[in-house]
A and B are shown apart, each in its own frame.
Chain A
Amino acid sequence: MIQPGQILSGSNQGPSGQPLLEARHLRKDFPLRQMNIIGAGKVVQAVEDLSLNLFAGRATALVGESGSGKTTVARMLAGIHIPTRGELLFAQQPVNVKSMRERKKYLRQVQYIFQDPFSSLNPLRSVRYHLSRPLRMQGHARNSREVEAQALVLLEKVSLTPARQFLDKYPHQLSGGQRQRVSIARALAVRPSVLLADEPVSMLDVSIRLDILNLLLKLKEEEGLAFLFITHDIASARYFAEETQVMYAGQMVEGGPSDEVIRRPRHPYTRLLRAAAPDPDRMAQNMGDEVTGDVPERGEPPSLVNPPKGCRFHLRCPHAMEICRQSFPARTDFGGGHWANCHLYSSNLDVQTTRATTGG
């Protein structure tokens, strides 16, 4: 067990070997279903162009506000939504999510952990039932004796001990943290190699959040699972994931090693997130004075039905320029895997970006 206070290693070396799960230029538009049949098919452009790689034993965090499309990304990777464009590769083999057979084989490797512990378990079913379904579906256990044995192992793995006591409990007899552990155990039942965690701790009490995060870290390190960690809290992204990518209104804005992206943010939006995040070490006086520009809609992400052209952040960006309204900026690499899509850097303007007062 990792001791408290021990510096987490492996957070800064680069990924080794081939990515387990690759997403290349995924795009997702949801048709806005008009009630009247003849209505023009308006579309919600949820995710514009997403690429990311998941490596065994490492975690990539996807950070963004509500409505940024981060959950849609997770659902695309979990085969719940079918991407409008772009492709998905598992162990370098393209995955055709449309075919039921291939999807089922893919789902044996990639499991989803849901956000709300109170609705991710069927209230009328016991913990035993929840674990037995995946075990039987994937053929890991054929009869109830094998199911019980493997279920007990799973409960031990998520430290719900004494396991036998939890086996026949109902969801309403468990606390939020315990329910989340059961849904993690359910995900582990199919012996996956990739776990997609959609804000696994944001609905939990502060004191038990770290227990769940540490459990997931243990699974990452000891079982070598690859993680996608979706969150709106950059501090937990830095704590949990080696890689972080930031999304805004369906567009990728910045990415790279977590420590680098969060402590030395380059994209104005990441800086805004950094400045806005509650930081106990910062005194109350300079309460984010630099952040509150006078843009009336300053705090609201744009609607995704007809999003603004070019970089969708230009409405709220203190450094917005004319070019930002026309075209989406190309990617600029800052070395060490740290990149950002922003005209401040990409259209090689000579303007020297003033050192932002916040951050590193």
Chain B
Amino acid sequence: MQATNLTDQNLETATFLSSARKGGRGVFRAIVANPKISFGVGVVAVFVLAAIAAPLLTPYDPSAHVITTGVSRSVPPSAAHIFGTTGLGQDLFSQILYGARISLVIGFVAAIGSTLLQVLMGLTAAYFGGIIDEILSLITNIFLVLPGLPLTIVLASLAKASSVGQNELTIAIVLLFTSWSYGARVLRAQTLSIKEREFVSAARANGESALRIIFVEILPNEIALVASTFVGTFVYAIGAEVALEFLGLGDISSPSWGVILYWAQVNGALIVGKWWQFVPAGLCVAVLCASLTFVNFGIDELANPNLRSERLMKKKKKSVVA
């Protein structure tokens, strides 16, 4: 889970968001202004566009066996096949493009679901306190301490065995249930600190309903944190989903990045030196996850300016006295 620890993000940074809230334009300008976020979002956009425009970018059907003759169906990268072909002679470039769809969709669905769960668990636990807080925190901490991936593997493999069958939705749901705990703990911590602030007791003294206080007064002040945990969960989901497919727990017939790597491992691409069977797919996962983590750093810096690398400030005149 790459989510950074934002528990001590103080409220003054929310004023940054409010100053950028002069209208949608303000927020957009603030995001584009931050180099890390714009770079990260840019790369992710490239993946998304490539996934959508897959049919335009590659003539081949991802699962069609294009190379059927010759010593080995798996040919290295060439003009015809930019990323070469798989062990069964399928075009790797189109598999990666179509595969991007699966990874992005599963990652996104798991991340959205998990973030909703995090907000629900974190905010209710923090706001109501008492016994509710004790129970919810206990559950959160248990899920946090239990190793995420093994649990996911167990769930996924059992799902595969039973009649639930093996499809992307099960993987997304499994990922959802094993990735929410960190975000919930971080959100709970911050909600606890905001709950103590006086504008919340003012709203409560004014007779506002608990629901309204949580979702209208407290949550908007945590947007930076929610965004950051969402991105963090997205990265975790992609990584876990690719890992599951690599273990053969995904739908090995439909081409996705993890499945490409699964067949690379099964065909022993490593030993026979067919590097193109696993390098491009692996790189795509790495670049996507790295760019998303970059977005996370950008959000961190938006929320906590003194984390920004000092280098940018140093360009100014040298001070008279060290």
Number of chain B residues whose Cβ lies closer than 8 Å to a Cβ of chain A: 21
- Interface flag for A122 (CB, 8 Å): yes
**Contact present for B203 and A133 (CB under 8 Å):** yes
Instruction: Please give, as numbers and ranges, the residues of chain B lying within 8 Å of A111 by CB-CB distance.
Output: 205
B16: nearest chain-A partner, CB-CB: A172
Instruction: Please give, as numbers and ranges, the residues of chain A lying within 8 Å of B7 by CB-CB distance.
Output: none
**Contact present for A124 and B220 (CB under 8 Å):** yes
Distance in angstroms between the alpha carbons of A112 and B200 in the assembled complex: 12
B13: nearest chain-A partner, CB-CB: A123
- Interface flag for A229 (CB, 8 Å): no
Asked whether A80 and B204 contact (CB < 8 A) given A119-B199, A124-B17, A171-B15, the answer is: yes
Distance in angstroms between the alpha carbons of A79 and B204 in the assembled complex: 10
Most chain B CB within 10 A, of A115, A124, A186, is at A124
**Contact present for B202 and A120 (CB under 8 Å):** yes
- Interface flag for B208 (CB, 8 Å): yes
**Contact present for B11 and A123 (CB under 8 Å):** yes
- Encoded as 1 (CB less than 8 Å from any B CB) or 0, chain A from 106 to 149 comes to 01000110111001111110000000011001000000000000
Segment 78-125 of A: residues with Cβ below 8 Å from B? 78-80, 103-104, 107, 111-112, 114-116, 119-124
- Interface flag for B21 (CB, 8 Å): yes
- Interface flag for B8 (CB, 8 Å): no
Asked whether A116 and B205 contact (CB < 8 A) given A124-B21, A171-B15, the answer is: no
**Contact present for B221 and A122 (CB under 8 Å):** yes
**Contact present for B14 and A112 (CB under 8 Å):** no
Closest approach, in angstroms, between the C-beta of B139 and any C-beta of chain A?
16
**Contact present for A133 and B14 (CB under 8 Å):** no
- Interface flag for B198 (CB, 8 Å): yes
Distance in angstroms between the alpha carbons of A80 and B205 in the assembled complex: 7
Instruction: Please give, as numbers and ranges, the residues of chain B lying within 8 Å of A186 by CB-CB distance.
Output: 202
- Interface flag for B206 (CB, 8 Å): yes
Instruction: Please give, as numbers and ranges, the residues of chain A lying within 8 Å of B72 by CB-CB distance.
Output: none
**Contact present for A104 and B207 (CB under 8 Å):** yes
- Interface flag for B308 (CB, 8 Å): no
- Encoded as 1 (CB less than 8 Å from any A CB) or 0, chain B from 219 to 261 comes to 0110000000000000000000000000000000000000000
Asked whether A119 and B220 contact (CB < 8 A) given A124-B17, A124-B21, the answer is: no
- Interface flag for A170 (CB, 8 Å): yes
**Contact present for B205 and A107 (CB under 8 Å):** yes
**Contact present for A120 and B198 (CB under 8 Å):** yes
Number of chain A residues whose Cβ lies closer than 8 Å to a Cβ of chain B: 26
Partner of A183, one of B197, B202, B217, B220: B202
**Contact present for A137 and B208 (CB under 8 Å):** yes
- Interface flag for B68 (CB, 8 Å): no
Instruction: Please give, as numbers and ranges, the residues of chain B lying within 8 Å of A114 by CB-CB distance.
Output: 198, 201-202
Closest approach, in angstroms, between the C-beta of A21 and any C-beta of chain B?
15
Instruction: Please give, as numbers and ranges, the residues of chain B lying within 8 Å of A119 by CB-CB distance.
Output: 11, 197-199
Asked whether A123 and B205 contact (CB < 8 A) given A114-B198, A116-B198, A170-B19, the answer is: no
Distance in angstroms between the alpha carbons of A137 and B17 in the assembled complex: 27
Distance in angstroms between the alpha carbons of A111 and B201 in the assembled complex: 12
Segment 67-116 of B: residues with Cβ below 8 Å from A? none
- Interface flag for B18 (CB, 8 Å): yes
A196: nearest chain-B partner, CB-CB: B205
Closest approach, in angstroms, between the C-beta of A90 and any C-beta of chain B?
15
Distance in angstroms between the alpha carbons of A115 and B202 in the assembled complex: 11
Q: How many A-B residue pairs have CB under 8 A?
A: 61
**Contact present for A107 and B207 (CB under 8 Å):** yes
**Contact present for B198 and A123 (CB under 8 Å):** no
Distance in angstroms between the alpha carbons of A186 and B206 in the assembled complex: 10
Instruction: Please give, as numbers and ranges, the residues of chain A lying within 8 Å of B199 by CB-CB distance.
Output: 119-122
A105: nearest chain-B partner, CB-CB: B207
Instruction: Please give, as numbers and ranges, the residues of chain A lying within 8 Å of B204 by CB-CB distance.
Output: 80
**Contact present for B202 and A112 (CB under 8 Å):** yes
Distance in angstroms between the alpha carbons of A103 and B197 in the assembled complex: 22
**Contact present for B18 and A172 (CB under 8 Å):** yes
Instruction: Please give, as numbers and ranges, the residues of chain A lying within 8 Å of B14 by CB-CB distance.
Output: 123-124
Instruction: Please give, as numbers and ranges, the residues of chain A lying within 8 Å of B203 by CB-CB distance.
Output: 122, 133
Distance in angstroms between the alpha carbons of A122 and B217 in the assembled complex: 7
- Encoded as 1 (CB less than 8 Å from any B CB) or 0, chain A from 173 to 207 comes to 00000000001001000100000000000000000
Instruction: Please give, as numbers and ranges, the residues of chain B lying within 8 Å of A112 by CB-CB distance.
Output: 201-202, 205
Asked whether A124 and B221 contact (CB < 8 A) given A114-B198, A115-B198, A186-B202, the answer is: yes
Closest approach, in angstroms, between the C-beta of B2 and any C-beta of chain A?
27
Distance in angstroms between the alpha carbons of A122 and B216 in the assembled complex: 10
Closest approach, in angstroms, between the C-beta of B283 and any C-beta of chain A?
40
Closest approach, in angstroms, between the C-beta of B103 and any C-beta of chain A?
35
Instruction: Please give, as numbers and ranges, the residues of chain B lying within 8 Å of A123 by CB-CB distance.
Output: 11, 14-15, 18, 221
B207: nearest chain-A partner, CB-CB: A104
Distance in angstroms between the alpha carbons of A82 and B103 in the assembled complex: 53
Distance in angstroms between the alpha carbons of A170 and B14 in the assembled complex: 12
**Contact present for B198 and A124 (CB under 8 Å):** no
Most chain A CB within 10 A, of B14, B197, B217, B221, is at B197
A120: nearest chain-B partner, CB-CB: B198
Closest approach, in angstroms, between the C-beta of A113 and any C-beta of chain B?
9
Distance in angstroms between the alpha carbons of A80 and B196 in the assembled complex: 13
Instruction: Please give, as numbers and ranges, the residues of chain A lying within 8 Å of B220 by CB-CB distance.
Output: 124
**Contact present for B201 and A80 (CB under 8 Å):** yes
- Encoded as 1 (CB less than 8 Å from any A CB) or 0, chain B from 174 to 209 comes to 000000000000000000000001110111111110
**Contact present for A137 and B15 (CB under 8 Å):** no
In the assembled complex, 15 residue pairs joining A and B whose CB atoms fall closer than 8 Å, in A order, are: A112-B205, A115-B198, A119-B197, A119-B199, A120-B198, A120-B199, A122-B199, A122-B217, A122-B221, A123-B14, A124-B18, A124-B21, A170-B18, A170-B21, A171-B15
* Given A107-B205, A120-B198, A190-B206, 20 additional A-B pairs, CB 8 A: A79-B205, A80-B201, A80-B205, A104-B207, A111-B205, A112-B201, A114-B201, A119-B11, A120-B199, A122-B217, A122-B221, A123-B11, A123-B221, A124-B14, A124-B17, A124-B18, A124-B220, A133-B206, A137-B208, A172-B19
The 4 closest A-B pairs by CB, nearest first: A172-B15, A114-B198, A120-B198, A119-B197
